[in-house]
Amino acid sequence: MSDQRSSVFQTTINNKISFSGVGIHNGKAVNMNLFPAAVDNGIIFKRIDLEKNNEIKVSFDNVIKSRFCSKIKNNSNVFISTLEHLMASLNGLSIDNLIVEIDSNELPAMDGSAYEYTSKILETGVKIQNKPKKFLKINKEVSVNLGERWIKILPSNELMINLEIDYPNTLIGNDTINYTYNKDSFVEDICYARTFTLLNNVEKLRASGFGIGGNLNNAIVVDKYHLVNNTGLRSKNEFIKHKVLDCLGDIYLSGFQILGKIHSFSPGHELNFHLLKEIFKSESNYEIITMTLLQDTCYYDDRNNLPNFNVA
């Protein structure tokens, strides 16, 4: 019964979870605590380094465009950035209600993936709450083009993400993935995929104020056909799996788990933002539903299926 209930009823975490690290872009030390929350609370970030107007609710109304990360702000222009990996974990593990207290404007990078977030949530466990969760179901095709890059979403009874990346003359190369969301596949195949960049882009990023806290412990760095990290890849298609991870995190900023089929060429945060913007332009594009059963779901309260990586 818990397998089905965790898919269609709202959930939160069992106990407080703590994280600390540095922001990958601002390079500042940061401490973050996750707390259980009541039904219909949603996911709320609280900037405890500020005394007032410091709460930001995860909702499409609060999402703002950002090229190298996801970002939300409230009506007082208080913002929080680089949410995508935590949001991917929450989406992947189907967590609805949470309070996140944080003492900086950027989340900790951890190992550059959602692995540590996912691991601690599974260790703490998930509490099933006594109220149905709501899903955003796509009713018709919605698409966005940015030059040669594009993204679209079509109606579906589940979440599918089909991506293509193309980094010519590099180790990354051209790759495709057809991913169908469920908790098993997220935990086993997606959560560990780390963020990546090209070595010749590092200085450009830092000159623009990004990647200040980036290092080989929280990002994969590629120098043409060589990997700068001496730890190697966690899977042969880790690069494109990270794009799936980012997509899962970015679309959960809608405030809902989405039922639809996403296709994208050269995906990224900016495209994901514009897709959400187009979806919410018209209420005819979607409907908010509750469900009695989702196919191929599983409730996790331990880490038996989590791959083992050394992230110390």
Residues identified as active-site: 269
Determine the Cα–Cα distance for residues 284 and 255; give it in Å rounded to an integer: 18
Please check whether residue 92 is in contact with residue 186, taking contact to mean a CB–CB distance below 8 angstroms.
Answer: yes
Helix (H) or strand (E) holding 245: helix 238-251
Determine the Cα–Cα distance for residues 312 and 309; give it in Å rounded to an integer: 9
Task: Single out the residue of 234, 215, 214, 222 nearest to residue 172, CA to CA.
Answer: 222
- Amino acid occupying residue 51: E
**For the residues of 195-241, what is the DSSP string, one character each?**
PEEEHHHHHHHHHTT--TT--TTT-EEEETTEES-TT--SSTTHHHH
Query: Three-state SS for 83?
Result: coil
According to DSSP, the residues that pair with 35 across neighbouring strands are 99
